[in-house]
Amino acid sequence: MVIVMKANAADSHIRHVVSRIEAAGLSTCLSRGQGRILIGIVGDRRLIAALPVEVFPGVERVLPVTDSYKLASRQFRSEDTVIDTGGVEIGGGNLVVMAGPCAVESRAQLLEAAEIAREGGAQFLRGGAFKPRTSPYSFQGLERQGLEYLAEAREATGLKIVTEVVDVTSVAMVAEYADVLQIGARNMQNFRLLQAAGQAGKPVLLKRGIAATISEWLHAAEYILSEGNYKVALCERGIRTFEDYTRNTLDLSAVVAVKKLSHLPVIVDPSHGTGRRELVCPMAMAAVAAGADGLMVEMHPKPSEALSDGSQSLDPDQYRELMAAVSSLAAFLRQAM
């Protein structure tokens, strides 16, 4: 349920409505749009049945939200969410790029990758300090040392840091270093982790599970939003189908669908979506054309020496070519709009 306040509603009216609703045992969240303030109500609808909300001072009307992912729904917020990560905005017509290696392997490797990412025009450095892998014998990451290298790279280049958090116990540690907490595909429905990430207060990048429907993906985002953290971006990184030529099937229709259903920004990861470096640039271009708010691409100074995902990592020259291509396309599309 969403309460639409009148355009001239006083702050005292808003506080009165919020206090009455919360006194009934429900939680609220405010969304300030163009000329209107919306108050979302989360909880058992039966608890509000006895309240005469429609006649509270300042209330214009009460609207039901039919989507079960209420806070993520376009019904709750008609305007696109824009996430400010310390001066870099995700959403709102800006194409952001998150580039870097799959895993933080060493200080030298990361600092070199960070400088290449910055020179190419990326705003974020991606790199895994914790690496959940299919095989227990694969490289699992440098953990805190990797986070320290990421922080050093941010200091050297000015890039924001996005890195994965893999369990509840490591949320606080990662939040010390990262600008954006990434929830990986394997953890999309780790609901305790989603709640902990929401409570951390940092922006969260939520990757789509390998077999998740769009509805399940948005419900996962709802867990973060329901903790009062509205700085959530979604990341389409491919889903598992019968096709085995590519690592996954990159579902670009999801970009368009999610933007119709939700106000949250959408990032596309063509590296995991294809698993083949020669397909990354074409699919990145397609993602931009589909309306993605940003890209996450894997780039390694020497992909042949990468400890993980070398086959889908761009080398520096390929990364520069990608950045030139997507920048030109994004500029053209802005003019065309």
Residues 42 and 191 in one domain: no
Q: Which residue type sits at 108?
A: A
Choose the weakest-confidence range: 129-143, 165-179, 318-332: 129-143
Q: Given a cut of 80, is residue 185 above it in pLDDT?
A: yes
Looking at residue 106, the DSSP 8-state letter turns out to be -
Residues 153 and 270 in one domain: yes
Query: Rounded distance, CA 278 to CA 221, Å?
Result: 31
User: Does 78 fall in a domain?
Assistant: no
User: Does 10 fall in a domain?
Assistant: yes
Segment 85-91 shows an average pLDDT of 95
Q: Given a cut of 90, is residue 26 above it in pLDDT?
A: no
Q: Given a cut of 80, is residue 108 above it in pLDDT?
A: yes
Residues 228 and 153 in one domain: yes
User: Does 154 fall in a domain?
Assistant: yes
Choose the weakest-confidence range: 40-54, 215-229, 283-297: 40-54
Q: Exposure string (b/e) for 313-322, b if CB count within 10 Å is 16 or more? A: bbbbebbbeb
Query: Rounded distance, CA 191 to CA 33, Å?
Result: 29
User: Does 69 fall in a domain?
Assistant: no
What pLDDT score does 281 carry?
98
Query: Rounded distance, CA 261 to CA 67, Å?
Result: 9
Which has more pLDDT, 119 or 141?
119
User: Does 71 fall in a domain?
Assistant: no
Q: Which two tokens stand for residue 233?
A: 């971006």
Domain count, the chain: 2
Q: Given a cut of 70, is residue 249 above it in pLDDT?
A: yes
What pLDDT score does 304 carry?
95
Q: From the centroid of its chain, how far is CA 28?
A: 23
Residues 175 and 321 in one domain: yes
Average pLDDT, the chain: 92
92 φψ region: left (φ > 0), alpha (ψ -120 to 50), beta (else): left
What pLDDT score does 213 carry?
98
Choose the weakest-confidence range: 76-80, 218-222, 231-235: 76-80
Q: Given a cut of 80, is residue 34 above it in pLDDT?
A: no
Residues 43 and 177 in one domain: no
What pLDDT score does 93 carry?
87
Q: Given a cut of 90, is residue 42 above it in pLDDT?
A: no
User: Does 244 fall in a domain?
Assistant: yes
Q: Given a cut of 90, is residue 228 above it in pLDDT?
A: no
What pLDDT score does 41 carry?
84
Segment 151-160 shows an average pLDDT of 98
Q: Given a cut of 80, is residue 33 above it in pLDDT?
A: no
Q: Given a cut of 90, is residue 337 above it in pLDDT?
A: no
* SS3 call for 122: coil
What pLDDT score does 237 carry?
98
CATH number of the domain where residue 13 is located: 3.30.70.1140
Contact between 237 and 248 (Cβ < 8 Å): yes
- The sheet with strand 59-63 has its strands ordered as 27-32, 37-42, 2-5, 59-63
Domain boundary residue among 63, 96, 113? 63
134 band by pLDDT with thresholds 50, 70 and 90:
low
Residues 95 and 57 in one domain: no
Residues 189 and 101 in one domain: yes
What pLDDT score does 336 carry?
84
* SS3 call for 32: strand
Residues 142 and 214 in one domain: yes
What pLDDT score does 335 carry?
87
User: Does 135 fall in a domain?
Assistant: yes
173 burial (CB, 10 Å; 0-12 / 13-18 / 19+) is: middle
Q: Which two tokens stand for residue 85?
A: 């990560």
245 burial (CB, 10 Å; 0-12 / 13-18 / 19+) is: exposed
CATH number of the domain where residue 146 is located: 3.20.20.70
How close are the terminal C-alpha atoms of the chain, in Å? 34
Residues 27 and 137 in one domain: no
Contact between 129 and 140 (Cβ < 8 Å): no
User: Does 68 fall in a domain?
Assistant: no
Q: Given a cut of 70, is residue 138 above it in pLDDT?
A: no
Contact between 250 and 283 (Cβ < 8 Å): yes
Residues 236 and 279 in one domain: yes
Q: Given a cut of 80, is residue 35 above it in pLDDT?
A: no
Residues 108 and 44 in one domain: no
263 band by pLDDT with thresholds 50, 70 and 90:
very high
Q: With pLDDT > 90 as the criterion, what percentage of the chain qualifies?
A: 73
Beta bridge partners of 4: 38, 61
Residues 146 and 227 in one domain: yes
Report pLDDT digits (tens) over 109-122: 999 999 999 999 99
What pLDDT score does 140 carry?
64
What pLDDT score does 139 carry?
61
Q: Whole domain around residue 7: which residue ranges?
A: 2-63
